[in-house]
Structure 1
């Protein structure tokens, strides 16, 4: 494999997750407004060789994308993969990030194929203190960009109305509980998360939300309910999971591209950049 030394410069990035794993994104969407510019891009990072990236253009915007959060078997831990991905984003100058994935429903109101655009998270992972070494205090008051979330909500609602399928509702608020995986959670764990006001459970929003803030980028995601969490409504079935895995990827892909066509590089309509503060610890001198 050839490693590329020059990281392309772009304001925009998309992190692909499990909901688009079964397709080649964005090629398989067969959109006339999309042009793939480069594929198979890998880079040497301080955390090892990066996963493969693609560079494509949609609506006149250059976008860098990576598959499955950069996770891949027998290479690195998920935390290190996140460091590789976001180091590349930092070097590329990325300012706006969209992400996607599949989640389990903790909230009894959520049905399979519903779409959730969370506005907060609870980190139950053990992947702590994963960063890029920047001299910042990261304020997580508004951890997910409101303006980016609004664009995803509009794109998702338009796509759902166009297809007129049920159940597929769009929820513009929700608490995402992040666990380590790769196993699913126990019924007792799910009940604990439910009592903590969690709505969905997944494995990807952390540490991505921290790393996005560290590099000064806006971050928001859209997540499809692919299973009921253990002890919620009924036992999840593998056939349902498989059906969604193979047949819903195009829906998520189009939502991301539709939202991307309407986003702008400027970070003037949100507070994301202002919530990255200079740390005071670097000024402490030894006595």
Structure 2
């Protein structure tokens, strides 16, 4: 579980912290039991315990490597997003299907040539449809509405986007905008892990909203949505199937990294 802004409502039982050594630095995670599940999960706070790390400085490679080293095969991530489309309103939960990458300075691969080798990872299906089916089932079980099929625009941050940028993203087919999904989803795909994102619409983007955008607005929206998202996440971990009945593992099989 990779949590971003607003997952304070999740409660791990019998949890303990663990520091994982990776080639990209140390990563702290919590291991424990979530809700009524009997299986131990790994919880990672994307921005750190105190939300001190901005999106462009998150050590994505260390985070994903640490999860793989711990034996994780499936990643469920959450992300606060802005809406670029009338399809998605404030408070909606959405499953992301595709992305447009507008990041600028983030390392995007474990394979940088030389001893690391080279891998051109297939991104036809960036987000795992198998895990998405489990999320749908969990949402149906508890009566939570969730939308699907959105294209996520990932920007560098930490600033919000200009109205001109938002207009461009809309012209390219973007429907949600955020700052964290890339390269997280790419790196997970490289190491053969299933990855799915529950996007939480916390604001309307610049040029759409009739007021200035603030981080406080995002936090306030998340506070309202937090309990619902926590219930959905807990139910998903009760529903999720252990086998990787998808193609997500193929890149790691090809590269032989792990």
Q: TM-score, normalised by structure 2?
A: 0.85
1:217 equivalent to 2:193? Answer: yes
Residue 201 of structure 1 is matched in structure 2 by 177
Within the candidate set 31, 35, 40, 1:55 is matched to 31
- What residue ranges of structure 1 are gaps of 5+ in the alignment? 1-13, 28-34, 163-168, 280-287
> Which region of structure 1 is more displaced relative to structure 2, 230-239 or 137-146?
230-239
Which secondary structure does the structure 1 equivalent of 2:197 belong to? strand
Q: Structure 1, residues 113-168: CA drift from partner, whole Å, max 9, x if none?
A: 01110111111101344333464331101111001112222323444x36xxxxxx
CA distance in 1, matches of 2:253, 2:169: 30
CA distance in 1, matches of 2:133, 2:73: 16
Residue 103 of structure 2 is matched in structure 1 by 125
Whether contact under 8 Å (2:3, 2:79) holds in the other structure is: yes
Within the candidate set 215, 224, 249, 1:247 is matched to 224
1:176 equivalent to 2:152? Answer: yes
Residue 15 of structure 2 is matched in structure 1 by 37
Within the candidate set 78, 81, 87, 1:100 is matched to 78
1:259 equivalent to 2:236? Answer: yes
Which residues of 2 match residues 1-150 of structure 1 at below 5 A?
A: 14-20=1-7, 23=8, 25-27=10-12, 35-39=13-17, 41-50=18-27, 52-58=28-34, 59-70=37-48, 73=52, 78-79=57-58, 81-133=59-111, 135=117, 136-150=119-133
CA distance in 2, matches of 1:74, 1:204: 12
RMSD: 2.5
How far off is 1:245 after superposition? Answer: 2.7
Q: TM-score, normalised by structure 1?
A: 0.77
Q: Structure 1, residues 221-280: CA drift from partner, whole Å, max 9, x if none?
A: 101100000112533565653431323222212211211111122112x2212355736x
CA distance in 2, matches of 1:74, 1:146: 30
Question: What is the number of residues matched between the two proteins?
Answer: 246
